[in-house]
Structure 1
Amino acid sequence: MSVHPTSGPAVSSEPQPVDPLSPTVNPAELDALRSGCPVSRTERGWWYLARHDDVLAATEDIPGYRASFRDPGVVVPDEEQFINEIPEPRHGEIRRLINSAIATHRLTRVEPFCRELCGELLDAMRESGTANDLTPSYIEPIPNNVIARLLGAEPTDYPRWLAWSEELVRGTYPTQYRNERGAGLAGAHPEFTAYVDALIADRRAEPRDDFVTRLLDTVIEGRRLTDVEARTQLVFLFISGNETTRHLIGNLLYRLAADPGLFATLSADRSLIPAAVEESLRLDPPVRFLLRDCTEARAPRGVPIVTGDKVVFGIEPANRDPERFEAPTEFRLDRGPDSRRHLSFGGGPHVCPGALLARLEARVAVEELLTRATGMRLRDGHAFENVPTFWARGPQSVPVDISWR
């Protein structure tokens, strides 16, 4: 469903009463902002786009916007720019290499590993005979083990770089390129970079048939990546391969635990699981918003945005836009082709390269749970608590009681 209004609501260059970047903002407040002022200023002076059509158009506008979570004025050396920060055409060259690591033919080999892993984790939970918090026992290990397998790291090391990833994304490095320990990845997060540097050194000395070796061997724009460039992209993949997928799986399992009817429906018809994954992505996006720097003057809905302005793509309200989705606040399994028109993986040519992998992991996580459980419910008295990452949505914990088969 796509309806384009002939006249839009008001827009404003003044900060609105609702701060859409606040971790405590609720969906109703964002919906009111979308309908009342779809292009607005935040308290930080950044522009916020809240309509689906505006956000989609902006994600497709590569010349006009460049991804950056950095604070205005922060300059990052070329070697330490994450893939989403690198401009074209170099972005496309590195992206093609990353895509090769998670191409469809490789995912067919990952699924059996993911399924076996999920089974082992669930069997361990069942054997423990106690109520479980799904976050450490099931949700966290899945994406971390899968990305370790894809990148060639030791799966047993995942607790270490899980902790490093959380430290990085929840600290000041993503916005300021530094923290209290120093500047750059090596200065701000020396343990993480030392681990990745050791992987690189090992592959330099003894190449293997894995992603790290391919990353080091591939010629991009007439030259191979330096060790610092390779480290930067590997750190990005370690983070993105576990952080957002963990929130996707957590949000979906939280809904299953909170809604016995949904659990029963999916148990009766496993073919509906992919639709449940998409609805979870739409209503509970693991990434609440995307940050961009305006690189060419633009005027969405007639509002002048100039070069250098920070622009926020509001994924949350865009995913509930009634101009795009019928009954947008309802969790529905019958949306058909509309089910994938959410923007939780971004849009345009820079759509998240890990989308297929994230969907696979979430689907398998639910399938294996339904194979072993007849029911699941949230522990009495539990209330949703969001992770302490300002741009993310995901449950800090999912304490449940499970009825095993």
Structure 2
Amino acid sequence: MTATTVPEKPNVLSQEFARDPHTYYRIMRDYYPVLHDDVSGYYFVSRYEDVERIYKDSVGFSNENYGFQMEPVIGRTVIQMGGREHSVNRHLVTPALRGNYLNEMLPQVDDLAGEMIDEFRHAGRVDLVEQFTKWFPINVVVKMLDLPRGDLPKFHNWYSSLMAFLSNLTNDPEIHAWGMRTQEEYPAYILPIIAERRRNPGTDLISRLTQAEIDGEQFSDEQIKALIGLLLIAGGETTDKAIASTIKHLLLNPDQLEAVKKDPALATNALVENLRYHPPVQIILRTATADIEVSGTTIPAGSVVACVNGAANRDERRFENPDEFDIFRPDLNIRQAFAGSADHIAFALGRHFCVGSLLAKREGETAITQILAAMPDIRFADGAVPDDVGLFTRGPERLVVEFTPAA
């Protein structure tokens, strides 16, 4: 009997890993389901069952890691809270992102997408990342906050610095310095606006947050500042990458692309399958609160655990033919895909399931349907398939397409 050769442990910080993580994800799932990285000290968990367990176990695995990932730049947010503090803060913000206010915003989401697409529908060639997906979600957030559209470059710089700071595994001093600049610039910009909206509230999201109250508790200006910073991250780069990746994978699967063109309702299926196949947030961190065994490895108390969504979502133990992009996949419940009971792992799971998932859903549906309607013969420019980039968040850096210009 021939002995099985165990592959070398993947180096998650290597350039080879960054170029083709899915090759290494399979090695991790099969041979190193809990991989300890010596440089960062993190424990990378890659199997679906293990990642699901970690997200749902808020006692054994906390969000304390956001204390060093985000708090130094934007302050303490609901994403790192636990217990009653988390419950109160989540209840305060949920109506704005999942209630009547969201329903009021949805027509404006559609209008914003249409306005942006109108700027290039006659061009015949466009980089959809640079001219649409990079700006559309942040446009929506700025609209919700009723802030000047001319300040979009500032917001993009701030959320880019936040994402870089969040995923700075190697403690790059330049990334740290970039985050510290945001720490100074962002509060100086937003706190006076919050104070003014508290004095003279309108109907925008900032005003609503200043007035929100549960059991006599309200958000402070500092809390609102931090929450808006979280919206910039959760509502910016992640939705940007989800839309760009979905379009890319539809273009790579012409039969499915044609199906979505014929039935725009299938845009939801495409978005959900992309969340499974290529989640924009590939890795989310948690902190072990005690010594805990996962897949035969003891993770020491206080250790940072990296839940690898990108690996878990392609675990053949959970999904059939996981490396195939299939918008008609029978083992993925579309109805539950934007709720805490989702089959895929893209928004996390459990009590910290992404509260902005329904906004992301509408943005994705709107973007996909309007782009395909405006560019019915959309194709990769020069036949070139764009590369994906990123470790924590991942998606195409560019998405240059060609199409017949609108008459």
Q: TM-score range by the shorter chain?
A: 0.7 to 0.9
Deviates more, 1:270-279 or 1:204-213: 204-213
2:285 matched to which residue of 1?
291
CA distance in 1, matches of 2:404, 2:215: 56
Instruction: Specify the SS of the correspondent of 2:326.
Output: coil
Compared CA separation, residues 337 and 156, structure 1 to 2 (3 A): farther
1:402 matched to which residue of 2?
403
* Aligned equivalent of 1:264, options 255, 258, 266: 258
Compared CA separation, residues 186 and 224, structure 1 to 2 (3 A): farther
CA distance in 2, matches of 1:226, 1:280: 37
Compared CA separation, residues 191 and 382, structure 1 to 2 (3 A): farther
Residue 172 of structure 1, CA deviation:
7.0
State the TM-score, normalizing by the size of structure 2.
0.85
2:115 matched to which residue of 1?
120
Residue 256 of structure 1, CA deviation:
3.0
Compared CA separation, residues 163 and 394, structure 1 to 2 (3 A): same
Residue 160 of structure 1, CA deviation:
2.1
- Asked if 1:392 is matched to 2:387, the reply is no
CA distance in 2, matches of 1:49, 1:83: 24
- Asked if 1:94 is matched to 2:89, the reply is yes
2:382 matched to which residue of 1?
380
CA distance in 1, matches of 2:73, 2:393: 26
- Asked if 1:148 is matched to 2:149, the reply is no
Check conservation: 2:37, 2:43, Cα contact below 8 A.
Answer: yes
1:3 matched to which residue of 2?
none
Check conservation: 1:345, 1:351, Cα contact below 8 A.
Answer: yes
2:340 matched to which residue of 1?
none
2:374 aligned partner, one-letter code: R
CA distance in 2, matches of 1:169, 1:252: 21
Check conservation: 2:67, 2:76, Cα contact below 8 A.
Answer: no
- Asked if 1:40 is matched to 2:35, the reply is yes
* Aligned equivalent of 2:354, options 347, 352, 355: 352
CA distance in 2, matches of 1:282, 1:361: 17
1:278 matched to which residue of 2?
272
- Asked if 1:214 is matched to 2:208, the reply is yes
CA distance in 1, matches of 2:112, 2:73: 38
Query: Number of paired residues?
Result: 390
2:365 matched to which residue of 1?
363
2:203 aligned partner, one-letter code: D
Instruction: Specify the SS of the correspondent of 1:190.
Output: helix
Check conservation: 1:134, 1:400, Cα contact below 8 A.
Answer: yes
Q: How does 1:215-230 map to 2 (within 5 A)?
A: 215-219=209-213, 223-230=217-224
CA distance in 2, matches of 1:187, 1:177: 16
Check conservation: 2:71, 2:77, Cα contact below 8 A.
Answer: no
Check conservation: 2:70, 2:166, Cα contact below 8 A.
Answer: no
Check conservation: 2:198, 2:211, Cα contact below 8 A.
Answer: no
* Aligned equivalent of 1:82, options 77, 80, 85: 77
CA distance in 2, matches of 1:398, 1:78: 30
Q: How does 1:4-43 map to 2 (within 5 A)?
A: 17-20=9-12, 22-43=17-38
CA distance in 1, matches of 2:105, 2:25: 38
Check conservation: 2:284, 2:309, Cα contact below 8 A.
Answer: yes
2:368 aligned partner, one-letter code: V
Check conservation: 1:65, 1:295, Cα contact below 8 A.
Answer: yes
Q: How does 1:153-172 map to 2 (within 5 A)?
A: 153-171=147-165
Deviates more, 1:253-262 or 1:179-188: 179-188
Check conservation: 2:73, 2:182, Cα contact below 8 A.
Answer: no
* Aligned equivalent of 2:305, options 276, 286, 311: 311
CA distance in 1, matches of 2:22, 2:120: 34
1:56 matched to which residue of 2?
52
2:51 aligned partner, one-letter code: V
Gaps of 5+ in 2: 338-342
CA distance in 2, matches of 1:71, 1:176: 17
Check conservation: 1:288, 1:392, Cα contact below 8 A.
Answer: yes
CA distance in 2, matches of 1:173, 1:321: 24
CA distance in 1, matches of 2:301, 2:215: 27
Instruction: Specify the SS of the correspondent of 1:102.
Output: helix
CA distance in 1, matches of 2:8, 2:83: 34
Compared CA separation, residues 186 and 208, structure 1 to 2 (3 A): farther
CA distance in 1, matches of 2:147, 2:88: 23
Residue 230 of structure 1, CA deviation:
2.1
Check conservation: 1:79, 1:229, Cα contact below 8 A.
Answer: no
Residue 183 of structure 1, CA deviation:
8.6
Compared CA separation, residues 306 and 46, structure 1 to 2 (3 A): same
2:308 aligned partner, one-letter code: G
Compared CA separation, residues 163 and 103, structure 1 to 2 (3 A): same
CA distance in 2, matches of 1:75, 1:244: 16
1:190 matched to which residue of 2?
184
Q: CA RMSD in A?
A: 3.1
* Aligned equivalent of 1:247, options 223, 235, 241: 241
Instruction: Specify the SS of the correspondent of 2:307.
Output: strand
1:378 aligned partner, one-letter code: F
Residue 396 of structure 1, CA deviation:
1.2
Residue 234 of structure 1, CA deviation:
1.4
CA distance in 2, matches of 1:80, 1:368: 37
State the Cα deviation string for residues 114-164 of structure 1 (Å, max 9, x = none): 22222222222123x341111122212321121122233333422321122
CA distance in 1, matches of 2:309, 2:74: 29
State the Cα deviation string for residues 52-110 of structure 1 (Å, max 9, x = none): 111111100011112255598x8958992232112222112111222111114333322
Residue 381 of structure 1, CA deviation:
5.9
CA distance in 2, matches of 1:238, 1:225: 18
Compared CA separation, residues 77 and 159, structure 1 to 2 (3 A): closer
